[in-house]
Amino acid sequence: MEGVKPENKQAGPVAGRKSALRAFVALGVFLAILLCVYLAQPDNFLLYIKAFHVIAVISWMAGMLYMPRLFIYHTDAEPGSAQSETFKMMEQRLLKIIMNPAMMITWLLGLYLASEAYGFQGGWLHAKILLVVLLTGVHMLFSKAVRSFAADGPRKTARYWRLMNEMPTLLMILIVILVIVKPF
């Protein structure tokens, strides 16, 4: 199209509303499938819940692993520049459209599984929940950083965000080991 710059096609309020609508529809479909499985109560119902929990965890972790990379690049962008504004949009969308819903679904299904499948029993489960609480704390730190970047507020260094990039990875590794091995 004439007069429209390619980099503007995915920016701005109209594109943001379209992205939010697509994410809302996808979330709605996911929840509708979950509701159908809940209402049908198949014999392997808990396996479906575990599968949906894993899907939510994968979505959450994708955002948790990508967000600090955005922060690293955003730190190097001049506040108020077109590049900085693009990073603001990307960070907001990642947080609100992917990470927040995925975290909430992860928690809801995880607590359901902890109760129904394990009766909140097992040292490994308690340790896993503690690590998920820490991961949620990292998520909240990232949310605070998104707000700070959006306000062109004080910035941490790129080195800081490179180190913070490792936190979700480390927590994920420990959580997966606890779930699979159940060492205690």
* pLDDT computed for residue 31 by the predictor: 84
Q: How far apart are CA 65 and CA 166, in angstroms?
A: 8
pLDDT at 28: 86
Read off the tokens for 90: 């990307």
Poorest-pLDDT segment among 3-7, 75-79, 123-127, 137-141 = 3-7
- For the beta carbon of residue 6, count every other beta carbon within 10 angstroms: 7
pLDDT digits (tens, 9 = 90+) for 37-96: 889 988 999 999 999 999 999 999 999 999 999 999 999 999 999 999 999 999 999 999
